[in-house]
Amino acid sequence: MANQGTQHDKQFLAPDVVDDAVVRLAKINGQVQGVSRMIQEGRYCVDVLDQIESVRKALDGVSRQVMRNYLERCVTDAIKSDDPLIYDELMKVLFRHR
């Protein structure tokens, strides 16, 4: 966490990002319960896989939102204050999934 130490009195996430993410995550919880129900009802595997894929896409939506906030706030502050550690942090975040 490149710039966490210097920002303890600042919010990392903008209030509207927080509100929107909380709503999205509540919907995702409903979707996950839906997948569980489909599995218990013995639905066709492909339908279950499709539904899990929908959850993944919804999660991606939250990631994207948090990522943009991260770029606009944390990364921007770190770059403007010439924090050299931000690049390793960013690269780790960006290539984590691969």
Chain residues binding a second copy by CB under 8 A are 1, 4, 11-13, 18, 21-22, 25-26, 28-29, 32-33, 35-36, 39-40, 42-50, 52-53, 55-56, 59-60, 62-64, 66-76, 79-80, 87, 89-91, 93-98
Shortest gap between Cβ of 6 and a second copy (angstroms)?
A: 12
Shortest gap between Cβ of 88 and a second copy (angstroms)?
A: 9
- Give the end-to-end CA distance of the chain in Å, rounded to a whole number: 20
Residue 63's nearest CA partner among 29, 97, 38 is 97
- The two three-digit tokens of residue 80, written as one number: 């403007």
CA 67, CA 43: separation in Å to the nearest integer? 35
- The two three-digit tokens of residue 70, written as one number: 């991260």
Shortest gap between Cβ of 78 and a second copy (angstroms)?
A: 9
Shortest gap between Cβ of 69 and a second copy (angstroms)?
A: 6
Instruction: Determine contact, residues 51/38, Cβ cutoff 8 Å.
Output: yes
